[in-house]
Structure 1
């Protein structure tokens, strides 16, 4: 096993990139790729979750927020395409992503809320090893649909008053997917810690195949050869379990909820919708009004879009 650690997602991403560019050459589906097998990524500050590797790698902060809300709310609706239209290529003819994590997370087999179940497990037995959330479903995912989950599942361990989280992935595209996967997973991690009144522990990200497509090698070199900005922690997202789904509905709609962390996320979504409607100046002004890393990250993404 290869272990890569970082205090922030930027440090972790850069360290992983330096190793993966030297990985084994493989060509799944005929696509030239560099790969590391059996990798453990350790993030020691899960609230430092928004990648900021400017100028070489800028992520869409609005999509990071939107996907997180989409997953946590149990959704599989097509509104996510407003924030990342490239996802449509993985949808079936009805426009639905069959591998969407949300329904599996919040309504497994149509009736099991796995977040509530994991929470109840740890409340009932804080030392339990059974706080498991499963996302990969062989009954569904061996059927040949376009979208097969890369994430197999999540586990939680409460030890000495700290909640640790582990994610297992069969496959992870380091350049494109990993920054968003860790953003969403560590948001759940922070929420679970709050619901359990525990401190936020380490986040472990286990990947069977951590890979980088050869088409991204030149872009990767700009990160490794440049100066990466070390991002700050995002504001706390801890909020009561009771009323959580209603809060997510408000955030998705861009409405303020009276919580600084979630209001920042709501404002980011509202700003991006303005950008998509062509209200570019208003969108940028709205992003600039969001204090902290999310606002800065969205402004950086707008700069990328302007340059295309």
Structure 2
């Protein structure tokens, strides 16, 4: 069939007609700011409080942040976060360690301030996760137990790991700040909620968010599940008085989209090495230094 063609411009559709074939604008990755929103909330409404370290804080009590792990890995972008320390600390927890030497041998010093001259910290996180003592003298490996429950009874409401062992807190160099966490499965997706009783928002919480998001990915990989949400619930959410200038600087920065996590397959959650964990596309602002309150 032949017919008359409408005149067209060399680079566009027929005159007077909208080009339905125009390219859609590229879909941008979402930019999430729940952490920065919490910093802002505490700066604006926090109550001045004394604290154990004698530094002083501004604080709010009770707050929740939600991170959809399918939309990116929640590594804070408004300042550079030291990923090496986060990964090695989590691997150290999973080993059930109580001595900082394993961390020091890998160039990680974040626990040094609390360690004894011999490097001991007492029965801290990893010990409780992997070797919780029972009255009969036995020990419970909570990580192994929770992974087994996820495989055999994913609707259980008892998939909890606790570091808050009241009987052993006096022997710990530092009482657990991130005290316990719970897993939840729905529609083939694994979510994790952490309760953090004490939250150093500037220095500690960016580590905690990334650490438990990574742990959720690792547990999901071991149980054949997709990742769901990481939910962070904080008790005493505080900014130390000597971090106020740093927080103000951080809140003046524009957040970027979150990076992606690439996790190598491993037969056991205890087999992961640092090299098995890769963060892709981490775009961030420069690091901001601040003193640690001890």
TM (norm. structure 1) is 0.73
| Aligned counterparts, 1:181-196, within 5 A | 181-196=208-223
CA offset at residue 144 of structure 1? 6.0
Q: Which runs of 5 or more structure 1 residues have no equivalent in the other structure?
A: 1-6, 257-261, 266-290
- Structure 2 match to 1:38: 62
- Structure 2 match to 1:90: 114
**How many Å separate the matches in 1 of 2:218 and 2:108?**
25
**How many Å separate the matches in 1 of 2:204 and 2:191?**
22
The count of aligned residue pairs is: 251
TM (norm. structure 2) is 0.76
**How many Å separate the matches in 1 of 2:268 and 2:154?**
23
**How many Å separate the matches in 2 of 1:263 and 1:134?**
25
**How many Å separate the matches in 1 of 2:64 and 2:200?**
14
In our comparison, the structure showing a higher alpha carbon Rg is 2
- Structure 1 match to 2:90: 68
Of Structure 1 and Structure 2, which has the larger fraction of its residues in helix? Answer: 1
CA RMSD, Structure 1 to Structure 2 (Å): 2.6
Of Structure 1 and Structure 2, which has the larger fraction of its residues in strand? Answer: 2
- Structure 2 match to 1:102: 126
| Aligned counterparts, 1:1-308, within 5 A | 11-22=33-44, 23-29=46-52, 30-45=54-69, 47-53=72-78, 57-78=79-100, 79-81=102-104, 83-98=107-122, 100-109=124-133, 111-141=139-169, 143=170, 145-235=172-262, 237=263, 239-240=265-266, 242-245=267-270, 247-248=271-272, 251=273, 262=276, 264=278, 292-293=281-282
CA offset at residue 161 of structure 1? 1.6
CA offset at residue 58 of structure 1? 2.4
Q: Which runs of 5 or more structure 2 residues have no equivalent in the other structure?
A: 1-29, 290-294
- Superposed CA offset, 1:251-270 (max 9, x none): 25xxx5xxxxx1648xxxxx
CA offset at residue 238 of structure 1? 6.0
